[in-house]
Structure 1
Amino acid sequence: MMMNGLRYRRWVAAVVCLVATTMVRPVYADAGDFGAMPGLWKIQVRHVENGKAGAPTVTWHCVDEGADPWTTFASWTPAHGECTTTDPQRRTTSLTWKLTCKGSPEASAHVDFDSAKHYTGSVSVEGHGEVIQVEGSRYAACTSPED
């Protein structure tokens, strides 16, 4: 089933909002075995349209030692609650999952760490290709709870 342009843009807009939420269903494992450093992280999210990435939306967040990787680095579910996360796969340097959204083609997402201080990831929609790019970089230790 093809989505019309407006419906597709709305769905993609909802996916963009997902970075701010932490509603991914967690897979329970020792968070300490995940290869990411705690500290202050800069996250850049780019919306991809017609194969071109747009200007980044930047957010900052402090990652505690032992934080759950699923709620820290894979918080990509729409706030509307119309999407469900399935097939979560976790390795020491990557996370992959599927998003099934009401009335939309299935999407797949991933986060891959090339070091303990940097990762890239994306969301791809079946039949539309990559719709979101994300990049995270650790900048410093967290200095207060407000970081």
Structure 2
Amino acid sequence: MMKRLSPRFAAAACVLAMTAAAPLRADPGDFGAMPGLWKILVRHVTNGKAGAPEVHWHCVDEGADPWATFAAWTPAVGECSATDQQRRSTSLAWKLTCKGASPASAHVDFDSAKHYTGSVTMEGRGEVTQVEGARYAACTSPQD
């Protein structure tokens, strides 16, 4: 049985999905991540110590927009918008502006087409979120 997305994660995904409409500098077909069922571990960092992981499952369709798929998480500090998006074939990097919080930067880096790590770093606080994703299997149904 799969775990549903937490409301905080779902809200962050919606915010970044809306900001992902900005023009991209690369063709979606050249992004080096495999479609399928991804297990995503999100850890919030407090005082330099990573907390227990929140586990999220996400089915990635072939040709999916990398910004909406792999950059759909933010620090849990409220409404955020992404700017200065930079994309390469194996990485995404962007700046975050969050209401009531210091500016932040975020990134995800793929070491293979089936695995990535990333983080969010806020000015004055350091790293506040860590993320790790691993492709688990093929998607088997629309409910994946």
TM-score, normalised via structure 1 length: 0.82
User: 1:52 aligns to what?
Assistant: 49
> Alpha-carbon deviation of 1:22?
3.5
User: 1:96 aligns to what?
Assistant: 93
Q: Percent identity?
A: 74
Structure 1, residues 25-62: CA drift from partner, whole Å, max 9, x if none? 22434211100000000000001111111100001010
The answer to whether the Cα contact below 8 Å between 1:23 and 1:77 also exists between their aligned partners in 2 is no
Choose which of 95, 120, 123 in structure 2 pairs with 1:126.
Answer: 123
Bigger radius of gyration: 1
| Structure 1 pair 133–77 and aligned structure 2 pair: CA distance change class (3 A) | closer
| Structure 1 pair 34–61 and aligned structure 2 pair: CA distance change class (3 A) | same
> Alpha-carbon deviation of 1:104?
1.6
The answer to whether the Cα contact below 8 Å between 2:80 and 2:96 also exists between their aligned partners in 1 is yes
User: 1:142 aligns to what?
Assistant: 139
SS at match of 2:72: coil
Q: Give the letter for the 1:109 counterpart.
A: A
The answer to whether the Cα contact below 8 Å between 1:46 and 1:132 also exists between their aligned partners in 2 is yes
Choose which of 4, 8, 23 in structure 1 pairs with 2:15.
Answer: 23
| Structure 1 pair 52–19 and aligned structure 2 pair: CA distance change class (3 A) | farther
SS at match of 1:44: strand
Deviates most, 37-46 or 26-35: 26-35
Question: Structure 1: 5+ residue runs without aligned partners?
Answer: 1-13
| Structure 1 pair 82–60 and aligned structure 2 pair: CA distance change class (3 A) | closer
Question: Structure 2: 5+ residue runs without aligned partners?
Answer: 1-6
Deviates most, 98-107 or 78-87: 78-87
C-alpha root-mean-square deviation of aligned residues, in Å?
A: 2.3
State how many pairs are aligned: 133
Q: Give the letter for the 1:43 counterpart.
A: I
SS at match of 1:22: helix
Segments ≥4 residues shifted beyond 6 Å: 78-81
Distance 2:50 2:79 in 1: 25
